[in-house]
Structure 1
Amino acid sequence: MLNTIIVDDEEFARSSLYFLLQENCGEVHISGIAKSVAEARNLLTQHAVDLIFLDIAMPGENGFELIPYAQSNNAHIIFTTAYDQYALKAIKANALDYLLKPIDIDELKIAVAKAVRFIALNKKENNRNESLQSLAVNLAERNEIRKISLPNGQGYSLVNIDDIIHIAADSNYSVFYFANKDKITVSKVLKEYEEILPDHQFVRIHKSSIVNLNYLKEYNSKNGLEVILKNGEKIAVSRRRASEFVEKVKLYTSFDHDK
Structure 2
Amino acid sequence: MENFNALIVDDEEYSRSSLYFLLQDNCPNVKVINISKSVKEAQNFILENKVDLVFLDIAMPRENGFVLIPLLQEKKIMVVFTTAFDQYALKAIKASAVDYLLKPIDISELKMAVEKAFTIYKLSLLHHQYHDYSKTLSTLAENLEQKSKEIKKLTIASTSGFKIIILTDIIYLEADSNYCIFHLISGEKVVASKTLKDYEEILTENNFIRIHKSHIINLIYLKEFKNNNGLNVKLVNDITIQVSRRRMSEFLEKVKKVNLKGK
Instruction: For 2:243 and 2:147, locate their aligned partners in 1 and report how far apart those are by CA, in whole Å.
Output: 39
- Alignment equivalent of 1:242, drawn from 231, 248, 262: 248
What whole-Å deviation, never above 9, does each CA across 1:50-106 have from its counterpart, x for those lacking one?
Answer: 341226549xxx8342x3349xxxxxxxxxxxxxxxxxxxxxxxxxxxxxx742599
What whole-Å deviation, never above 9, does each CA across 1:129-173 have from its counterpart, x for those lacking one?
Answer: xxxxxx9xx836899762111113221111111000000001111
Could you say what the CA RMSD is over the residues aligned between the two structures, in angstroms?
3.9
- Alignment equivalent of 2:23, drawn from 18, 38, 43: 43
- Counterpart in 2 of 1:227? 233
- Counterpart in 1 of 2:205? 199
CA 1:239–1:142: 2 relative to 1, 3 Å? closer
What whole-Å deviation, never above 9, does each CA across 1:215-249 have from its counterpart, x for those lacking one?
Answer: 00011111210100011000000000000000000
- Alignment equivalent of 2:104, drawn from 68, 74, 79: 68
8 Å Cα contact 2:174-2:215 kept in structure 1: yes
Q: How does 1:62-211 map to 2 (within 5 A)?
A: 63-65=100-102, 67-69=103-105, 102-104=133-135, 139=145, 146-211=152-217
Q: Does 1:29 align with 2:29?
A: no
TM-score calculated relative to the size of structure 1: 0.53
8 Å Cα contact 2:136-2:162 kept in structure 1: no
Q: CA offset at residue 176 of structure 1?
A: 0.4
8 Å Cα contact 1:206-1:241 kept in structure 2: yes
Instruction: For 1:251 and 1:29, locate their aligned partners in 2 and report how far apart those are by CA, in whole Å.
Output: 49
- Counterpart in 1 of 2:221? 215
Secondary structure in structure 2 of the residue aligned to 1:162: helix
Instruction: For 1:192 and 1:106, locate their aligned partners in 2 and report how far apart those are by CA, in whole Å.
Output: 19
Q: Which amino acid is the alignment partner of residue 237 of structure 2?
A: N
TM-score calculated relative to the size of structure 2: 0.52
Identity of aligned residues (%): 36
- Counterpart in 2 of 1:122? none
- Counterpart in 2 of 1:112? none
Segments of 5+ residues of structure 1 without an aligned counterpart are 1-14, 23-27, 32-38, 71-100, 108-134
Instruction: For 1:165 and 1:106, locate their aligned partners in 2 and report how far apart those are by CA, in whole Å.
Output: 25
Q: Which amino acid is the alignment partner of residue 103 of structure 1?
A: S
CA 1:195–1:106: 2 relative to 1, 3 Å? closer
Instruction: For 2:101 and 2:243, locate their aligned partners in 1 and report how far apart those are by CA, in whole Å.
Output: 33
Q: CA offset at residue 41 of structure 1?
A: 8.2
Q: How does 1:10-21 map to 2 (within 5 A)?
A: none
What whole-Å deviation, never above 9, does each CA across 1:102-135 have from its counterpart, x for those lacking one?
Answer: 425997xxxxxxxxxxxxxxxxxxxxxxxxxxx9
CA 1:168–1:187: 2 relative to 1, 3 Å? same
Segments of 5+ residues of structure 2 without an aligned counterpart are 8-18, 36-53, 56-78, 82-92, 107-131
Q: Which amino acid is the alignment partner of residue 152 of structure 1?
A: S
Secondary structure in structure 2 of the residue aligned to 1:68: coil
Q: CA offset at residue 43 of structure 1?
A: 2.1
Aligned length: 163
